[in-house]
Copies of this chain bind each other. A is one copy, B any other.
Amino acid sequence: MSKTMSIVLASGTIDKIAAAGVITSGAVANGIDVNIFVTFWALMKFRKHDDTVNKLSYDGSEISDFVMKKMAEKHIQGGIEMIRNAKEVGNVHVYGCALMADVMDIKKEDLDPIIEDIIGVGEFVSMTEESYTTIFI
Query: Chain B: which residue is nearest A15 at the CB level?
Result: B40
Question: How extensive is the interface on chain A, given as a class?
Answer: 35 or more
Query: Chain B: which residue is nearest A20 at the CB level?
Result: B136
Distance between A40 CB and nearest chain B CB, rounded to angstroms: 6
A-B contact pairs, 28 of them (CB 8 A): A3-B129, A5-B125, A12-B59, A13-B58, A13-B59, A15-B40, A15-B41, A19-B40, A23-B136, A25-B121, A26-B124, A26-B125, A30-B122, A30-B125, A41-B59, A41-B60, A52-B60, A53-B60, A57-B58, A70-B103, A71-B103, A76-B99, A128-B132, A128-B133, A131-B133, A133-B134, A135-B135, A136-B136
